[in-house]
């Protein structure tokens, strides 16, 4: 990757292209990928039905003439019905985490692995990683793309990798202390588990050698970022990606931390109304739909991520010209409809963290014992706020209930849980138990 340095920021040339040049590059790559995937039966049939070919694409708006691809399509053509290279040309196969159903598989050629490492290196560098750093990867190493993607991105930067993998939190802390890990790679909820475990061991988590962290794998809020930074005395950076497209590397934050820069020279990203599938106004929330422009083995067109976020193109202070996206605020398929109101788990997390004394460890339970939905939120509180006095506990429950009502418009029953009584997750945290589905 050709890089140049300006004002102590390391940038790829493609990250700073004038918007017109970037659009021309995207169109060139869009035509090339449409030509390449025309051999895939799913796309070949869809192109024939729509009268679409690479030559018929005259502008980026023509992407709307192309078919959508969904996780259901991948399952129907499982395991690898979207390949565009022979099986003997594959270098690796990964799979989605399966949190919303049966895992789907994705394939990588050797060139794809190089691309993936470069994309991860970009956002890691944007978030401060340098060759002299030691980075500890506390993601799982397996079919899940997070561990490997970040691992090779760190190596691409030239930094030292500690492949700690997920779990065994006490060992994670020992590794940080023994090896001087300055950078933490994991889910945001696991970072709080690390801080919590350190305190249980009599270690002030702020004395760990960590300087900053790159988090992904689950939605999180600004309030949660503030808490993590305060507890670990670090700077926390957000990144976004998904297995079906390539894994982590679709976007990531720069030092300004004012949205995640989309890697637009490699991905064409739309933001659509999930019902009408029409573009939303710039800056408004919508479903992200991603076309992989440069992936070789298994590029997908207009993949419906189900992730809700905002996109805007205002210039960034860092010098990058790429569009930015907000953090993911929810998913169209994990959105809860409670008494006719749309509620996302991230909204409830936001409400909880507004109340002093609560923690980001919580469980949302939805039930329908008769004809009415009931929402219950179980949340851990800090040890010093646990009390035998019923009036104090009742006041805390009422404060939480008011904040949940303010943020979501829904009244919820609140149950206070003692510290360390809710399940911890080394990977993606499971926040919702929707009991209504048991009778479907």
User: In the numeric block, which tokens belong to residue 97?
Assistant: 């985490």
CA–CA–CA angle 125, 131, 137 (5° rounding): 75
Please state, in angstroms and as integers, the Cα–Cα distance from residue 127 to each residue in 132, 182, 183, 185, following that order: 14, 13, 10, 12
Domain around 4: 1-333
User: Which are the contacts of 105, defined by CB distance < 8 A and separation ≥ 6?
Assistant: 74, 78, 79, 80, 93, 94, 95
**Mean of pLDDT over the chain:** 91
Same domain, 104 and 204: yes
Domain termination site, one of 333, 351, 372: 333
Assign residue 362 the CATH number of its domain. 3.30.300.30
Same domain, 125 and 54: yes
Domain termination site, one of 285, 311, 333: 333
Query: Taking the alpha carbons of 303, 185, 213, 322 in that order, is the dihedral positive or negative?
Result: negative
Same domain, 41 and 165: yes
> How many folded domains does the chain comprise?
2
CA–CA–CA angle 327, 329, 335 (5° rounding): 155
Same domain, 319 and 366: no
389: confidence class by pLDDT, cuts 50, 70, 90: confident
Residue range 312-364, pLDDT digits in tens: 999 999 999 999 999 998 888 877 888 878 888 888 998 999 998 898 899 99
- pLDDT for position 5: 31
Domain termination site, one of 302, 333, 364: 333
Same domain, 290 and 175: yes
Same domain, 101 and 226: yes
Same domain, 354 and 312: no
Same domain, 73 and 206: yes
Same domain, 144 and 81: yes
pLDDT at 99 over 50: no
Same domain, 120 and 199: yes
- pLDDT for position 64: 98
101: confidence class by pLDDT, cuts 50, 70, 90: low
């Amino acid at each position: 990757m050709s890089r140049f340095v300006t004002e102590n920021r390391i940038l790829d040339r493609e990250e700073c292209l004038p918007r017109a040049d970037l659009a021309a590059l995207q169109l060139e790559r869009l035509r090339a990928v449409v030509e390449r995937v025309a051999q895939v039966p799913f796309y070949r049939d869809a192109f024939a039905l729509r009268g679409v070919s690479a030559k018929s694409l005259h502008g980026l708006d023509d992407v709307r003439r192309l078919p959508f691809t969904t996780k259901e399509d991948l399952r129907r053509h499982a395991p690898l019905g979207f390949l565009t290279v022979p099986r003997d040309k594959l270098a690796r196969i990964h799979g989605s985490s399966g949190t919303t159903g049966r895992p789907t598989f994705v394939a990588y050629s050797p060139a794809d692995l190089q691309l993936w490492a470069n994309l991860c290196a970009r956002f890691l560098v944007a978030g401060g990683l340098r060759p002299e750093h030691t980075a500890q990867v506390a993601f799982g190493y397996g079919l899940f793309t997070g561990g490997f993607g970040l691992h090779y991105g760190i190596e691409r930067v030239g930094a030292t990798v500690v492949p700690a993998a997920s779990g065994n939190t006490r060992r994670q802390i020992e590794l940080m202390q023994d090896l001087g890990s300055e950078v933490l790679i994991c889910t945001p909820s696991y970072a709080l588990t690390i801080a919590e475990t350190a305190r249980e061991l009599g270690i002030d988590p702020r004395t760990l050698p960590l300087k900053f962290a790159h988090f992904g794998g689950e939605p999180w809020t600004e309030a949660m970022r503030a808490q993590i930074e305060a507890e670990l005395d670090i700077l926390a950076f957000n990144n976004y990606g998904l297995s079906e497209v390539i894994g982590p590397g679709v976007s990531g934050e720069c030092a300004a931390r004012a949205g995640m820069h989309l890697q637009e020279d490699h991905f064409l990203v739309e933001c659509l109304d999930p019902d009408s599938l029409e573009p939303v106004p710039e800056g408004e929330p919508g479903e992200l739909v991603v076309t992989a422009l440069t992936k070789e083995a298994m590029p997908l067109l207009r993949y419906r991520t189900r992730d809700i976020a905002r996109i805007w193109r205002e210039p960034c202070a860092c010098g990058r010209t790429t569009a930015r996206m907000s953090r993911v605020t929810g998913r169209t398929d994990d959105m809860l409809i409670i008494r006719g109101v749309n509620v996302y788990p991230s909204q409830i997390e936001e409400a909880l963290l507004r109340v002093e004394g609560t923690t980001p460890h919580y469980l949302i339970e939805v039930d329908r014992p008769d004809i009415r939905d009931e929402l219950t939120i179980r949340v851990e509180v800090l040890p010093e706020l646990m009390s035998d006095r019923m009036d104090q506990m009742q006041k805390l429950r009422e404060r939480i209930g008011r904040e949940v009502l303010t943020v979501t418009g829904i009244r919820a029953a609140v149950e206070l849980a003692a510290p360390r009584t809710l399940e911890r997750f080394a990977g993606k945290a499971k926040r919702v138990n929707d009991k209504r589905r048991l009778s479907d």
